[in-house]
Chains A and B, each alone.
Chain A
């Protein structure tokens, strides 16, 4: 016979579990607040459209924003440190963008883009960008739907 068989007081697992659970919830709350502060709390909307930005240009001033618009065909020109182009909103308004850094692979005319930057002045239509992002649509269309395969296996 080894050791004492005297009944011992059972560990208070319930309160310990509660403390651990509260700890997990506490850490979770902190992580979620950090994520929200990075993403959603600053603005639920990721960007301002050209129309919105121009409508509130006086309040925006030269503050850094994300500006969204469609690249106007024929306006893209590559510069030494990036690209300059014009973007349009749903109306006739245009904003002239001069952005630094290499544009994304999909950057092209008639594609919606989001440019991070600021207006040169509260009254200017010139926008200085530091980053270009492409906002592609949710439509997926075959590049050459009418293409047929010739008997020798080549596509035409």
Chain B
């Protein structure tokens, strides 16, 4: 069952994304105010959802599990690292797609409001996490410091989410995850957007799986290289 779901992950992801693009570009209607610009609705919010909640959330949970003695393992550290790396990609895509949407709608590429600034800060945090890992040679020390750092920076995620509620921002409020539970997207537009959420979430897990496999191979290779070096050293000593 697990093997089957692993095998289907790629094709199902591609099918969901393809359906989102078909619905988004050809089937869904224009918006009353935004006209065709609304089609970015099927891309930008799903990417932001993955960047903020799914990928950063995965990295944070894996970091917590690493710090908890009962679940501590290098697997958790690897998952946190790989999720954070994918998160960087999605945060950058969030900022790019938001900027592309902002220029024709707001009239500016960028605004220093609370939502955009806190999202940019999250991107800096994610990059700093990766830099912090490179700064440490000792795997255990690296894993512990990275986990603590990931948990501390995750505080920014609820700040980003509620920034449009707590402060006055140029960025509009939530359309789906509203405090009242009300949906502000209608009909087939909502369907296309939700399909986008599913598609990009699956894309994240697909990328995470492939990145994780690569990391396992890289670790195995570095151990093999060390063994070879030790063997060579021993031969030299004979």
Are A and B part of the same complex? yes
Quick one: given A13-B138, A17-B135, A145-B187, are A45 and B167 in contact (CB under 8 Å)?
Answer: yes
Interface status of B141 (Cβ within 8 A of chain A): yes
- How near does chain A come to B31, taking the closest CB pair, in angstroms? 5
Per-position 1/0 for A2-28, Cβ under 8 A of B: 110100000001101100110111011
- How near does chain A come to B41, taking the closest CB pair, in angstroms? 6
9-residue interface stretch from B69-77, B117-125, B194-202:
B117-125
Contact A28 B125, beta carbon cutoff 8 Å:
yes
Docked CA distance A25–B133 (Å): 12
Point out the residue from B112, B136, B172 that lies within 8 Å of A21, measured CB to CB: B136
Which interface residue of A103, A108, A140 has the most chain B CB atoms within 10 A?
A140
Quick one: given A14-B138, A21-B132, A133-B108, are A140 and B186 in contact (CB under 8 Å)?
Answer: yes
Interface status of A76 (Cβ within 8 A of chain B): no
9-residue interface stretch from B4-12, B48-56, B99-107, B210-218:
B99-107
Interface status of B222 (Cβ within 8 A of chain A): no
Docked CA distance A21–B136 (Å): 7
Point out the residue from A35, A106, A139 that lies within 8 Å of B121, measured CB to CB: A35
Q: How many residues of chain B have a CB within 8 Å of chain A? A: 55
- How near does chain B come to A21, taking the closest CB pair, in angstroms? 5
Residues in B75-126 with C-beta less than 8 Å from chain A: 104-108, 111-114, 116-118, 120-121, 124-125
Contact B170 A46, beta carbon cutoff 8 Å:
yes
Quick one: given A14-B138, A45-B168, A139-B175, are A104 and B105 in contact (CB under 8 Å)?
Answer: yes
CB-nearest residue of chain A to B30: A143
Which interface residue of A5, A32, A141 has the most chain B CB atoms within 10 A?
A141
Docked CA distance A138–B176 (Å): 9
Contact B136 A106, beta carbon cutoff 8 Å:
no
Quick one: given A14-B141, A138-B173, are A44 and B124 in contact (CB under 8 Å)?
Answer: no
- How near does chain B come to A111, taking the closest CB pair, in angstroms? 7
Which residues of chain A are within 8 angstroms of B121 by Cβ–Cβ distance? 32, 35-36
A-B contact pairs, 29 of them (CB 8 A): A1-B236, A5-B237, A17-B138, A17-B142, A21-B135, A24-B128, A24-B135, A27-B131, A32-B124, A35-B124, A39-B116, A46-B111, A46-B113, A46-B114, A46-B169, A47-B170, A49-B168, A104-B107, A105-B37, A114-B170, A137-B184, A138-B172, A138-B184, A139-B184, A141-B32, A142-B29, A143-B29, A143-B30, A144-B29
Nearest 9 CB-CB pairings of A with B:
A104-B107, A39-B117, A20-B135, A39-B112, A46-B113, A138-B172, A45-B168, A142-B29, A143-B30
User: Interface of B with A (CB < 8 Å)?
Assistant: 29-35, 37-38, 41, 104-108, 111-114, 116-118, 120-121, 124-125, 128, 131-132, 134-138, 141-142, 145, 166-170, 172-175, 184-189, 236-238
